[in-house]
A and B are shown apart, each in its own frame.
Chain A
Amino acid sequence: MKFIDEYRDPLAARKLAQAIRRTATRPWTIMEVCGGQTHTIVKSGLQDLLPPEVTLVHGPGCPVCVTPLDLIDSAVAIASRPGVIFCSFGDMLRVPGSSKSLFEAKAGGADVRIVYSPLDAVTLARANPGRQVVFFAVGFETTAPANAMAVWQAAREGIENFSVLVAHVLVPPAIEAILGAPDCRVHAFLAAGHVCTVMGFAEYEPVARRYRVPIVVTGFEPVDLLEGIHMALLQLESGRAEVENQYSRAVRREGNRPAQQRIVEVFEVGPRTWRGIGEIPASGLRLREPYRRFDALARFPVAQGQVEESGECLAGLVLRGLKKPQECPAFAVRCTPERPLGAPMVSSEGACAAYYLYGRHRQ
Chain B
Amino acid sequence: MRRGKVDFAGVQKEICLAYTPEAKLGDYVIVHVGFALNVVDEIEAHKIFEALRELGELEEAQDGTDDRAVPPASLDPPGGTDD
Contacts and interface: CB of A to CB of B under 8 A. Distances in A.
B40 to A, nearest CB: 5
A349 interface: yes
Give the residue among A117, A118, A198, A227 with the most B Cβ atoms within 10 A: A117
Interface residues of B, number: 45
B81 A197 contact: no
A13 interface: yes
Nearest to A140: B83
B64 interface: no
Contact of A259 (B9, B19, B49, B55): B19
Given A36-B78, A36-B82, A348-B79, A3 B35 contact: no
Contacts of B69: 14
A98 to B, nearest CB: 23
A40 interface: yes
B1 interface: yes
Interface in A38-54: 39-40, 43-45, 48-49
Contacts of A140: 82-83
A139 B37 contact: no
Interface in B42-79: 42, 44-45, 47-49, 52, 55-56, 59, 65, 67, 69-79
A44 B33 CA distance: 25
Contacts of A117: 16, 33-35
Contacts of A23: none
Name the prevailing secondary structure of the B interface residues.
loop
B35 A146 contact: yes
Interface stretch (A124-132, A158-166, A248-256, A268-276): A248-256
Nearest to B81: A89
A109 B7 CA distance: 36
A89 B33 CA distance: 9
A120 B59 CA distance: 52
Contacts of B33: 89, 116-118, 139, 143, 146
A44 B59 contact: no
A8 B69 CA distance: 15
Nearest to B29: A250
Interface string A342-353: 000001110000
A240 to B, nearest CB: 19
Interface string A1-31: 1111110111111111111000000000000
Contacts of B52: 12, 15-16
Interface of A is mostly: helix
A113 B40 CA distance: 32
A149 B16 contact: yes
Contact of B73 (A195, A198, A222, A259): A222
A139 B83 contact: yes
Contacts of B8: 1
A222 B70 CA distance: 12
A14 B37 contact: no
Given A222-B73, A223-B48, A198 B37 contact: yes
B83 A349 contact: yes
A5 B73 CA distance: 10
A86 B13 CA distance: 23
Interface of B: 1, 8-9, 16, 18-21, 28, 30, 32-35, 37-38, 40-42, 44-45, 47-49, 52, 55-56, 59, 65, 67, 69-83
Interface of A: 1-6, 8-19, 34-36, 39-40, 43-45, 48-49, 61-64, 89-91, 116-120, 138-140, 142-143, 145-146, 149, 153, 192, 194-195, 197-198, 220-223, 227, 248-251, 256, 258-259, 262, 347-349
Closest 8 CB pairs between A and B?
A117-B34, A8-B73, A249-B45, A248-B44, A348-B80, A222-B73, A14-B70, A249-B44
Given A45-B71, A116-B33, 17 more contacts: A1-B9, A1-B77, A11-B67, A14-B67, A36-B83, A44-B71, A63-B82, A118-B33, A142-B32, A142-B82, A146-B32, A194-B30, A220-B78, A250-B37, A250-B38, A256-B37, A347-B80
